[in-house]
Chain A
Amino acid sequence: MQHKDINEDIRWAQINKDVLRSMENPRKAYWISVGICLALLSLAVIAEIYQYNVGLGPTNLNWPHMWGLYIATFIFWIGMSHSGTLLSAILHIIHADWRKPIYRFAEAMTTFTLMTAGLFPIIHLGRVWNMYWVLPYYSDRGIWPNFRSPLVWDAFAISTYLTSSALFLFIGMIPDLAICRDNTRGWKKKLYTVLSLGWRGDDRQWRNFRKTYLIMACFLIPLAVSVHSIVSSDFAMSIMPGWHVTTFPPYFVAGALYSGCAGIITLFILLRYFFRFEQYMTLPILEKTCKLTFAIAMVWTYLNLIEYSSVWYGHDTVAKELLIDKFTGPYSPYFWAMNILGSVLPFTLAFEKLRRHIPTMFAVSILLNVGMWLERWMIVSPTLAMSYEPFTHTVMWASWVQWFIVIGSFGWFGLLFLVFVKIFPSVSMYEVKEMIFHRRHLANKDIAAVMHRRSSDPQPSEGH
């Protein structure tokens, strides 16, 4: 059984070779995946064209249910984006070096899930063509957006987060792009020459690079937390039972990290299998990711139970009725499924045997995300079905238009990700080298002593 995070004897040239190999000559499975993603995406395009021409009526949305799967899926994708930042920024700052082989695709996932999520608030608008009115641009008529509205905060938060995470992804990739530049020819070489921004790998460049990367990481952490808090205030700022919950911001952030980590496990296993990255995406690293997911799942469960109990023991009768209705009403199968998938299933992550069994982990990670998607839906729909006015109590089941767009979003994300893994290195070459270098030297105490000694430090021979 492998215990070390990474094989420390692997050669630098081998790393370059392995990663660069993953970027050339797409095999049959790749084109099949692209075909599937395109097919899914075309479903969404058909549905959106139809919806654009006819109006939102065919979605089955109605006057108690003004929001539906679009908003639920929007929160789902925003949530998925958070764990990329967790891996690349938070774990960077706490020096957890096992993130190094797997953070690149996680960060790419952040950018692409945001690009997917950002589409949903636009798709769900009644008048899509006026969506830019949400932004504060200069207008002769002096009309501004309503800065009190959480939807305006959303627009700011998401666009800021998308820009910063795309920048962060790009900055972290510069040394690798230089490696690509030196090892490709043709149009790819031209592309990488432009993208690597003249990286030569000299001392000054590395120092500036480290500083920029660290600053971006420090900037991204509070940003990521605030983004999902702001998304949660779409609900928490309202007056509706089941939405008007003070614990929503931390609850949403925990749920975001949770589904994102599960998403990372899924993509981890896929990349490991299809690109034969067994040397880099090792079982011990998978195990660490699973443990992290388990911890976050427990935080999420705890916050969930807090929400139930504070409603149960509180004096808000309408909210309590809604909670009871969630447990017993028309949405109850999905509500129970969410609780079981979200809170019980993660216990499989607690067992080492299961953690090291890749097919199980693949299935579990997907089911966890099914649970998290249900969670978002169970936030949106039951409240709309059971709010204050008894006359408006109705259940709405989404039509094919909503489902097509939801399914198509997975195709869109998959397509972006597939394009990414063939154009950009999905394992960070320079950071894997760093990781191996540090581990090799940490293992050898003599070298470690020399490596970490500054001129002012006492000599190893003195003292102790």
Chain B
Amino acid sequence: MSLQNILQDWSKYRKGNEEGGFHDYEHLWGLAIDLNKCIGCNACSVACYAENNLAVVGKDKFAKHQEMHWLRVERYWDEPDLGEQAVSDYQSHGASFLPMMCQQCMAATCEPVCPVAATYHTPDGLNAQVYNRCIGSRYCSNNCPYRLRYFNFYSYYEDSWPAPLNMQLNPDLTVRDKGVMEKCTFCVQRIRAAKDVAKHEHRELQDGEFTTACAQTCPTQAIVFGDLLSLHTAGKAESTLSTLWRDQQVELGRTEQHKQNPDKRGYRVLEGLNTDPKVMYLERVREV
């Protein structure tokens, strides 16, 4: 990179971030969640607890916000001013739900701040969290605008899974001890297993070959898991998910979507912060 290059392409370097830093991705795992379909049943959250050995912290610690729900279903009561008859009526509209799991941002704010590089970007486009490397400075969580990182404030393994409940632990991943940060991994153990099978059978990983625990469990199939690589790199195979993203005219690497059709409901949470999340939500449409 000579000085001349820099001067010629100054605006390119200045805005370089919009193209992302790393390009040779093998996959870009992502999600799409249709909030029209979400009924707020929390089955995804429960599935996540079962799949990922999440500690059940108990009522008192939950009340202190020390719980470990990698996937939380956020509940918002509709704004009273949505309808004319305010307080008495808005409960009849019910609540809105927003299932939030790690957004696996392409420009993740948690990554640069970790002092020991315990969280980093994998060639699969995931934010990996290396439990063994984590020293628990908790800076990553502070710098996550979605607040989707959870910290082991205690050693939970004795209280959360008293025998024989320890037999139900998923052997494919660890039980974390006190003092480390953890978060949604998009069920990285399933990704790993599927990739190993594909490699063993000398073939490419197929779309829909496996899915995450939340997507598998969702009774209304509101959650779709898949590979977004074709949105990022031209010439890659389309998946169900990338078709969905294309259909909603949501693109990666944008702080603002320029939609041809404004009726398309797809959006990403807080994308204006340039975190470039890989989870697309489909806005809920409701009667007023």
Contact = CB atoms under 8 A, between A and B. Distances in A.
B135 A133 contact: yes
B137 A56 contact: no
Contacts of B143: 238-240
A339 interface: no
A56 B114 contact: no
Interface size class of chain B, counting residues whose CB lies under 8 Å from the partner chain: 35 or more
A62 interface: yes
A55 B153 contact: yes
Interface in A119-167: 121, 124-127, 130-131, 133-134, 143-146, 148-152, 155
B219 interface: no
A155 B115 contact: yes
Interface in B141-165: 141-143, 145-147, 149-155
Nearest to B155: A55
Contacts of A143: 117, 133
Contact of B179 (A67, A125, A234, A237): A125
Nearest to B57: A57
Nearest to A234: B139
B22 interface: no
B59 to A, nearest CB: 14
Contacts of B179: 55-56, 125-127
Which secondary structure dominates chain B's binding surface?
Answer: loop
Given A130-B135, A388-B270, A151 B100 contact: no
Given A125-B137, A127-B135, A149 B145 contact: no
B17 to A, nearest CB: 13
Contact of B154 (A57, A134, A234, A392): A57
A149 B115 contact: yes
Nearest to A396: B65
Contact of B145 (A144, A150, A387): A387
A64 interface: yes
Contacts of A126: 134-138, 151-152, 178-181
A71 to B, nearest CB: 9
A121 B116 CA distance: 14
A63 B142 contact: no
A187 interface: no
Interface in A361-406: 384, 387-392, 394, 396
Nearest to A152: B115
A391 B134 contact: no
A56 B109 contact: no
A9 B113 CA distance: 58
B61 A57 contact: yes
Contacts of A450: none
A94 interface: no
Interface in B27-57: none
B64 interface: yes
A62 B146 contact: no
A66 B109 CA distance: 16
Interface in B100-151: 100, 109, 112-117, 133-139, 141-143, 145-147, 149-151
Contacts of B257: none
B74 interface: yes
A364 B64 CA distance: 37
Nearest to A64: B147
Contacts of B147: 63-64, 387, 389, 391-392
6 contacts: A54-B154, A63-B67, A67-B142, A127-B178, A389-B145, A391-B76
Interface of B: 61, 64-67, 72, 74-76, 98, 100, 109, 112-117, 133-139, 141-143, 145-147, 149-155, 178-181, 270, 273, 275
Instruction: Please name the 9 residue pairs, one residue from A and one from B, whose CB atoms are nearest each other, closest first.
Output: A126-B136, A126-B179, A62-B65, A57-B153, A55-B178, A66-B138, A151-B115, A146-B117, A127-B179
